[in-house]
Chains A and B, each alone.
Chain A
Amino acid sequence: MDDHTDNWGLRESATFDRNSIREIQRAADTGIYDIRGFGAKRKVPHFDDLVFLGASMSRYPLEGYRERCGTDVVLGDRFASKPLHLDIPVTIAGMSFGSLSANAKEALGRGASAVGTSTTTGDGGMTDEERGQSRTLVYQYLPSRYGMNPKHLRMADAIEVVLGQGAKPGGGGMLMGQKISDRVAEMRTLPKGVDQRSACRHPDWTGPDDLAIKIEELREITDWEKPVFIKIGASRTYFDVKLAVKAGADVVVLDGMQGGTAATQEVFIEHVGIPTLAAIPQAVQALQEMDMHRKVQLIVSGGIRNGADVAKAIALGADAVSIGTAALIALGCNHPRWEEDYKRIGSAAGFYDDYHAGQDPAGISTQDPELAARLDPELAGRRLANYLRVITLEAQTIARACGKSHVHNLEPEDLVALDMEAAAMARVPLAGTGWIPGQGGV
């Protein structure tokens, strides 16, 4: 509500705020739940609620530009004969061709490859564009198995078994009919134009014991070369991570509730799952108890925006982070240059989240050839590479200030929290105290 004097005396309800009222009206109009992209929009405890304790008398900092501060990471050396070697600890998360245009997928590959990191396929299979442009490509193995085939499995550098996503733990996927173009339909073996649902459970295994056998099969098919990741949405993270390790994961990918999505019910995005901040210490505890921390690598995603977030996730125990939304924004999503077009479809630059609708003015979350042509994959790839370099430099800046010669040397001891919720979730002391609230439970 703006502060104009005309509005004095008009009091907005904290309970029935404008968004709630609008949603009731929208539901009454259409009879269908709200579907959108992006991640959770409500405020939850996050990395912003943590700060680093820079070095001073009791700790020795490293020189900002000259002294070495490593950023490389090895992923998947537990069982795979060909683990991934990445130059930076920031990877590109799985986003499907279908939800994204072929140009966007290509741009993600170009940007990631330019800085020595990996990108990931998504629901709907592997495209030539992204395989061609991605030095290191992780192949998602999802419940739908759309477009899944052994040829692509062998062409991939790693396999990511997707159990869930932070935006919707326990949910399947959807791709609305307007995005099922001929090419998408063919790749997924579906009729054109259907509102496509992706299953929420894998079709041929149920519990962790079966998953262990499934992973054995995937390893057999690919001759034990490729690292096998298991991706989970953050909910009962402590137990899920233990079971993932038991099932034979080389790498656990943990996606918190702020994690982006291409199309999910709003009620799901905002009300299911736990914040990234709360999930990391649970995962790390599980790994440590199994003596697997840093042996089974942990990749964290869900709301990573800048180098501080990267450094904080790593300090809490992650080996790397993964980005979805931020990568799309770097490519050009929500850019003010398309302001007029956003307005025309009832949105605005900085607010656009209707990825499911396929009308993305920036040409990223669309299958419309004209819109998709707006994204120059080479230029967008360079923008992504720039952004990845910046957040890596930022993470290094922080690591050096904390006296670390490698970002992986950051540790929880370098962090304090600004409020009690974050202190309890991240399991670091409230700033200025030695107090970590909530200790004693899982």
Chain B
Amino acid sequence: MKTISLAEHSVREVNQLLHDQARELTEPHWRITDHDGRHALACGLDQAIAVDIDGHAGYYCAGMNQQATVNVHGTVGVGVAENMMSGRVHVHGNASQSAGATAHGGLLVIDGDAAARCGISMKGVDIVVGGSVGHMSAFMGQAGRLVVCGDAGEALGDSLYEARLYVRGSVESLGADCIEKEMRDEHWAELRELLAQAGFEADPADFRRYGSARQLYNFHVDNADGG
């Protein structure tokens, strides 16, 4: 394992070293220390490496991740793993707003709570949150799955497309076009699998499923004159 201290290197230097691994893999395991919560840490990775980030990280940590496994040992700022394509990002703490925003793939695990807009415009990512999520989570969620072991804030799944949402606790309110849906066998199975991947021991039987009523998919026109 290679340890880089941000007391001695800039964010630019560290990210460049990590990006260089996409061209030639020289070190599979990295550890980043002394970063004082700086932004854009370990973003834009595209190699199957493991990166451990010691302590709290700033905005857009592991943004647009591909292939890499990033573990943050602390809390993260806005937009952790935003637009992730693949790989795994695990926050061993709480996450700020827009966690996993617009992400296309991979797995984002948050041990603690996630603030507002968790999974906003998600496009295929799986997000598993050990705690609760804030308001407007999964807003316009297009694809992928959001699992919340705690509670969900206001307007969950507003203007939802095809993302599937599972919540164990209470839901303060559902957003426009988001409804509770029946849990069928395939849903129990995928939920069980997601919880296992995240390493959480919650019982799938305690969860409810929410999804799109698909009523907003097309503008409704009342052709009053029949024309």
Contact = CB atoms under 8 A, between A and B. Distances in A.
Interface of A: 28-32, 144-145, 148-150, 153, 176-177, 188-191, 193-195, 197, 199, 203-205, 210, 213-214, 216-217, 220-224
A222 B222 contact: no
Interface stretch (B57-65, B165-173, B181-189, B196-204): B57-65
Contacts of B159: 197
Given A213-B39, A223-B15, 8 more contacts: A30-B222, A145-B121, A145-B123, A149-B85, A153-B64, A205-B78, A221-B44, A222-B44
Contacts of B63: 217, 221
Chain B interface residue bracket vs A: 35 or more
A148 B102 contact: yes
A29 to B, nearest CB: 5
A189 B143 contact: yes
Contacts of B40: 213, 216-217, 220-221
A224 to B, nearest CB: 7
A189 B39 contact: no
Given A149-B85, A150-B83, A210-B78, A189 B140 contact: no
A31 B224 contact: yes
B225 A29 contact: yes
Interface stretch (B48-56, B147-155, B213-221): B213-221
A123 to B, nearest CB: 13
B126 interface: no
26 contacts: A31-B221, A145-B83, A145-B101, A145-B121, A148-B83, A149-B104, A153-B64, A177-B218, A189-B142, A190-B161, A195-B217, A197-B140, A197-B159, A199-B140, A203-B117, A204-B117, A205-B78, A210-B59, A213-B39, A213-B40, A216-B40, A217-B40, A217-B60, A220-B15, A221-B43, A223-B15
A279 B15 CA distance: 39
A220 B43 contact: yes
Nearest to B15: A220
A153 to B, nearest CB: 7
A40 B201 CA distance: 58
Contact of B79 (A188, A189, A205): A205
B64 A204 contact: no
A29 B60 contact: no
Contact of B59 (A188, A217, A221): A217
